[in-house]
Every structure is written in C-alpha cells, then in structure tokens.
Amino acid sequence: MEVLGIDIGGTGIKGAIVNVESGELITERYRIPTPTGAKPADVANEVAAMVKHFNWKGVVGCGFPTIISNGKAKSFGNIDPSWVGVQVDELFSERTGLEFYIANDADAAGLAEIKLGAGKDVSGVVILITIGSGLGSGVFVDGKLVPNVELGIVGYKEYERFEFYASDAARKREGISYKIWGKRFKKFLDFVVRTFSPDLIIIGGGASKKIDKFKEALEVGTPVIPAKYKNNAGIIGAAMIAVQ
C-alpha cells in the first residue's frame, strides 16, 4: 500500500509517497521550510502545499514534533506554544479534505527503524534518538512503542532542556565544532543509558548522515548505530502510522 508520509520538523517539512510494506520511497522526497514561527494556520498551509505537490488523494500519515495523544498536541517542543491543545489531525483534515494520522516525530521514525530498519528483530529496549532542531526519542520494548517518551526536554545543568544544550540546532546556534558538540551529545547519551539501560540506540534525524564526525560520542557502553533510513526514517514511519 502507498501512503503520503509527512515529517514535520522545527526547520523543515519533508514528505514522500511511501510503500509502507517495504519502506521504499516511491517518489523523490520534497522539502518545504517550516514557516517562521510555525503557527498552526501557517503549518497547515504548507501541509496543504505538500499534498498538492504530490497531487495526493489518499490517507496521510504525519510525524509531529510534540507530544501527541489521540491526534492532539500536548506540548509545543520547538514550535509555537499555541499548538498545545490543537487537534492536529482535524486541523490538517479540514485544510486538505484528506484523512490524517498523527504521531510524535521520533516515535514515527522509530517505528520505521524497528519494523524495517536498524532495529528490526531486536528484542529488549531499543531507543531511537533524532538529532535536529530538538532531541527526539522513540522508546520500544520488544518491538512495541512506549509513546511520547520525551528525553530531550529533561533539564541539564543550567539548560532548561537537554536539547537546548546538545541538539543540532544548539551546535549551529553556538557555532561549536562537531568535536565539542560531540562531547555534549555524549552527556545526553550517558543520561539515556543510565536511565533505560537500552540494548540498542539508533541515531536518526538530520545529523545521522554525519555520524562519522562524532564517533567518539557514541562510545557509551551500549551499541549505538545510525538509522538505516537516516533522515528519511521520519517520512517512512509517518506513512506507516496511517496503516497501524
């Protein structure tokens, strides 16, 4: 079955039509910058532009960068605070006339990796970390998702959230090298390992393509590997949500 998968992030909205059984992208991936401020009406307009780009008429699966419970945003992550309480599936459905299924972006990326990618057939605790505008986390136990585990928003030292210290956005904002940033990211991974004793950690998000630049950060006494689908895991998993 083919589904339009959309991965909404703090800086980009990425989409493609996906074969949900094989995980293959049927089309080129298309990217639209997240509108400045990322307010609900503006993001909904870009989601409609994405649907139009693919001339899509079927169901849509969407990864969204906040806590999502039954299609509703329960936090605002790195987007506009006015998202809290918004029924995201209804907002996008009303704007496009199509049926939408929504999940947290890291949970969606994790789903693609656990079903078809780097975490396939791995039992025990598997955690996918997305490195991007924030630090997202998807936690799986014996292949089953524990939804909305938010490891990036836990505080660290003077930082209100770990992601303000160790996300890719933090690296860019502070203009630090991968070497220095890698030390920060390692602190985050150490915290994840201490808290969950995972059997495997998978790295996704934009920075998963650059993993060679921060290899030392990944030596945390637990296997840490890149996502099979790299940054496309979010699109593939988003499409998979629609058929779960």
Question: Kind of pairing, strands 30-33 and 12-19?
Answer: antiparallel
Rounded to whole angstroms, the Cα distance separating 165 from 177 reads: 13
The residue whose two tokens read 């779960």 is 244
Q: Is 208 in the site for ligand BGC (CB under 6 A)?
A: no
- At 89, the amino acid letter reads D
**Interface with ligand BGC, residue 226, by CB under 6 A:** no
Under the binding rule (CB under 6 A), the answer on residue 241 touching ligand BGC is no
Quick one: 23 or 234, whose CB is closer to ligand BGC?
234
Q: Decide if residue 153 touches ligand BGC (CB under 6 A).
A: yes
Contact mark string toward ligand BGC, 67..86, x via CB under 6 A: x-------x-xx--------
Binding to ligand BGC by residue 65, rule CB under 6 A?
Answer: yes
Phi, psi of 106 (to 5 degrees): -75, -35
Which residue's Cβ has the minimum distance to ligand BGC? 134
Residue 131 CB contacts under 8 Å (≥ 6 apart), including other chains: 167, 168, 185, 203, 204, 205, 206, 207, 208
Closest approach of ligand BGC to the CB of residue 78, in Å: 5
By the rule CB under 6 A, 104 interacts with ligand BGC: yes
In angstroms, the CA 233 to CA 149 distance is 18
Identify which of residues 96 and 104 has a Cβ nearer to ligand BGC in the complex.
104
Phi, psi of 17 (to 5 degrees): -85, 130
The site for ligand BGC (CB under 6 A) is made up of: 9, 65-67, 75, 77-78, 104-106, 130, 132, 134, 136, 150, 152-153, 163
